[in-house]
Amino acid sequence: MTDSKNNEIDRETVSNKNTDQPGSGRVDAPASAKEEITFAKRLRTETAQAHRFAESTNFIKGVLKGVMDLESFGNMQAGMYLVYEALEAELERHRDHPLVGQIYFPVLSRKASLETDLENLYGAHWRSQVRTTPARSEYVDRIHWLGDNDPTLLVAHSYTRYLGDLSGGQVIAKIARRSLKIEGNTGLTFFQFDEIEDGKAFKNEYRNRLSDLPLDEDRAQEVIEEAKQAFAFNQRIFEELEGSWIRTLANFLPLGSNRRKRA
Ligand code: HEM
């Protein structure tokens, strides 16, 4: 794990001290004091509904039930390629930003693994299969807009995608492996974080970084609102996929199979 944390940050300005770690703010608090709500906890709680909406799309519900064909899976990953290409370009560009730098972890980068997966799924000319759509371009445009105008809010996009990949993403990978009958990691390296030994510990470290960000109340709320937007962008991407998935199923149903042979 890299340590891009900027230790020069004035810790006194931190308004959301994390209390999950020994030796943190909880030490001085009376035993009966109510547990402090860290920024990471607020982010999780306040985006819970947006999370539910995103995971309740018919596309994701289908994925969870194991009703998925390779074509839809490839299409989903092609969309994700555009998102991560934008996100990682902007995170890297702002890696020395006092806030973005604190949650910048190159071990999270997914662009290269998506390239590997898409090449395995589509062959050498995979790039021509990566097509933009209205939902994808809205999401990508927002990420670049933030990179140009308000990089702090990129934190919300990093949080929504990477913590999701380390959480629900792992569930999706297991189900996709089974339902698509994938052997080895063909098409699934995106879900594998080889350089992260302990996903749970990593997520806790990431949450600590979030909670230590020097955000005043207004900015904290803006990051939360942006995270809700990030979930909504993902939701729209899944809703779009649902349309193409249904078309795919319709094409394949008469043959009694919805699975295309892998290249
Ligand atoms: C397949 C559907 C999904 C399932 C089953 C799922 C499941 C989960 C679970 C179990 C957690 C808690 C993990 C933990 O506390 O360590 C989690 C957290 C999270 N998920 Fe999902 N998820 C799904 C879809 C999504 C989507 C579509 C996104 C957004 C792109 C997303 C983003 C997140 C984020 C950001 C967290 C971290 C919450 C936090 O602790 O602050 N998830 N998910």
Task: Say how far apart CA 166 and CA 197 lie, in whole Å.
Answer: 12
Q: What is the pLDDT of residues 25-60, one digit of tens each?
A: 333 445 445 778 999 999 999 999 999 999 999 999
Phi/psi of residue 77, nearest 5 degrees: -70, -30
- Count CB neighbours of 43 within 10 A: 24
171 lines ligand 1 (CB under 6 A): yes
Q: What is the pLDDT of residues 116-170, one digit of tens each?
A: 999 999 999 999 999 999 999 999 999 999 999 999 999 999 999 999 999 999 9
Task: Say how far apart CA 97 and CA 115 lie, in whole Å.
Answer: 27
pLDDT over 80 at 180, yes or no: yes
Please give the distance, rounded to the nearest whole angstrom, from the Cα atom of residue 254 to the centre of ligand 1.
35
C-alpha separations of 130 from 20, 163, 211, 215 in Å: 41, 24, 36, 37
Residue nearest to atom 38 of ligand 1 (CA): 44
Residue nearest to atom 36 of ligand 1 (CA): 164
Please give the distance, rounded to the nearest whole angstrom, from the Cα atom of residue 38 to the centre of ligand 1.
18
All domains of the chain in start order, with CATH: 47-251 (1.20.910.10)
Q: Which of 20, 37, 55 to mutate to test the pocket of ligand 1 (most atoms within 8 A of CB)?
A: 55
Q: Which two tokens stand for residue 159?
A: 């949080």
Which atom of ligand 1 has the smallest separation from the CA of 40? 41
Q: Are 110 and 190 in contact (CB under 8 A)?
A: yes
Please give the distance, rounded to the nearest whole angstrom, from the Cα atom of residue 23 to the centre of ligand 1.
28
Name 4's Cβ contacts closer than 8 Å, sequence gap at least 6: 95, 101, 102, 104, 105
- Count CB neighbours of 48 within 10 A: 11
Per-residue confidence (pLDDT) for residue 253, from 0 to 100: 55
Task: Say how far apart CA 91 and CA 101 lie, in whole Å.
Answer: 8
Per-residue confidence (pLDDT) for residue 188, from 0 to 100: 96
pLDDT over 80 at 86, yes or no: yes
The CA-CA-CA angle for residues 103, 217, 100, to 5°, reads 15
Q: What is the C-alpha radius of gyration for the chain, rounded to an integer number of angstroms?
A: 20
44 lines ligand 1 (CB under 6 A): yes
83 lines ligand 1 (CB under 6 A): no
